[in-house]
């Protein structure tokens, strides 16, 4: 059995199957028009909309791997895994993770994004749903919108925006981050509504945190109005924020039911 086949068998045995009712996305929100939806109803990743996250030096991407077994579409959901590196693989990293993004393929300039997801808990596991500028703008100049981040065994989700002003800790800024209680064992819908003047976070359609554009404009305070954003779904392991990885608690899974983009009806 090859390493890839062994990995597929391992993750299939470790997690049960689960079906979820996604409802009618076109009727989900009054006053909003659905412009694109990924329901993960096929048998493989739609590469016209998604790319695999590459490995890199940042904490969130340090363990990313292109192995297909770490990114699987089945039973109507996308399943992203974090695992111990299988024996026999030519990879010195102790663990591997899966992630996808829609850069250059699916983006939204203003509107609403809903992502319905659930995830396991483990020491060092850091699943995230977030947005980055769909253009070549150096971080943090173009801004970052973190719709959901979860750490370890927390019963809260973190929702945050980053900009040059927040990274400098400029005085007089509104709070750029908030938390809200969740049950991580079940599916929750994580959302953001972003306009030219504000960013509103929601969980299960309930407002949780907002970040306004200041008037008059402050330098680098609200770059989110200037360009479109793409979405990243990442099952991350380890880093300075989430802490040390407990390899004995792997494998772990992040499961996504759908991703939906909306625009305000005119």
Which of the four pLDDT bands, split at 50, 70 and 90, describes residue 18? very low
Could you tell me if residue 3 is inside a domain?
no
> Which of 9-13, 222-226, 238-242 has the highest average model confidence (pLDDT)?
238-242
What CATH number is attached to the domain comprising 239?
2.60.120.200
pLDDT at residue 8, as a whole number: 46
| Contact residues for 98 (Cβ-Cβ < 8 A; gap 6+) | 52, 53, 64, 65, 67, 70, 71, 80, 81, 82, 235
Mean pLDDT of the chain: 92
Phi, psi of 215 (to 5 degrees): -125, 130
Predicted confidence (pLDDT) at residue 16 exceeds the cutoff of 80: no
Could you tell me if residue 224 is inside a domain?
yes
Could you tell me if residue 21 is inside a domain?
no
Structural domain count of the chain: 1
Could you tell me if residue 85 is inside a domain?
yes
Q: Kindly list the distances between the CA atom of residue 94 and the CA atoms of 21, 100, 216, 222, in Å, as whole numbers in the listed order.
A: 36, 21, 50, 39
Could you tell me if residue 86 is inside a domain?
yes
Among the listed ranges 8-12, 32-36, 214-218, which one has the minimum average pLDDT value? 8-12
Domain interval for residue 116: 29-264
Q: Is 34 helix (H, G, I), strand (E, B) or coil?
A: strand
Indicate the DSSP class of residue 159.
E
Predicted confidence (pLDDT) at residue 12 exceeds the cutoff of 50: no
Question: Could you tell me which residues are beta bridge partners of residue 79?
Answer: 72, 255
Q: Could you give the percent of the chain with pLDDT greater than 90?
A: 85
For residues 138-162, average pLDDT? 97
Which of the four pLDDT bands, split at 50, 70 and 90, describes residue 80? very high
pLDDT at residue 23, as a whole number: 67
Could you tell me if residue 84 is inside a domain?
yes
Could you tell me if residue 2 is inside a domain?
no
| pLDDT tens readout for residues 229-254 | 999 999 999 999 999 999 999 999 99
Could you tell me if residue 173 is inside a domain?
yes
Residue 249's Cβ-count burial label (10 Å; 0-12, 13-18, 19+) is middle
Q: Give the strand order in the sheet containing 144-149.
A: 51-52, 99-101, 229-237, 125-133, 144-149, 156-162, 177-181
This prediction's pTM: 0.91
52 contacts 62 by C-beta, under 8 angstroms: no
For residues 129-150, average pLDDT? 95
For residues 213-218, average pLDDT? 94
């Amino acid at each position: 059995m090859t390493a890839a086949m062994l990995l597929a068998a391992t993750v299939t045995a470790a997690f049960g199957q689960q079906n979820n009712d996604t409802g009618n996305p076109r009727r989900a929100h009054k006053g909003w028009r659905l412009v694109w939806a990924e329901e993960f109803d096929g048998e493989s990743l739609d590469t016209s909309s998604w790319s695999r996250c590459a490995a890199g030096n940042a904490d969130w991407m340090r363990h990313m791997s292109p192995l297909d077994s770490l990114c699987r579409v089945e039973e109507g959901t996308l399943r992203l895994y974090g695992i111990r590196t299988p024996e026999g693989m030519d990879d010195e990293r102790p663990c591997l993770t899966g992630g996808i993004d829609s850069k250059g393929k699916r983006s939204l300039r203003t509107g609403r994004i809903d992502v319905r997801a659930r995830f396991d808990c483990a020491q060092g596991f850091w699943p995230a749903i977030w947005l980055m500028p769909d253009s070549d703008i150096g971080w943090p100049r173009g801004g970052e919108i973190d719709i959901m981040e979860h750490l370890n065994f927390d019963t809260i989700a973190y929702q945050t925006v980053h900009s040059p002003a927040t990274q400098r800790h400029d005085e007089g800024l509104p709070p750029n981050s908030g938390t809200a209680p969740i049950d991580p064992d079940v599916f929750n819908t994580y959302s953001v509504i972003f306009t030219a003047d504000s960013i509103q976070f929601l969980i299960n359609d309930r407002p949780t945190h907002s970040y306004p554009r200041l008037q008059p404009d402050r330098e680098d305070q609200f770059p989110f109005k200037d360009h479109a954003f793409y979405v990243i779904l990442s099952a991350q392991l380890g880093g300075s924020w989430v802490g040390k990885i407990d390899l004995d608690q792997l494998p772990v899974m992040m499961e996504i039911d759908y991703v939906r983009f909306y625009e305000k009806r005119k």
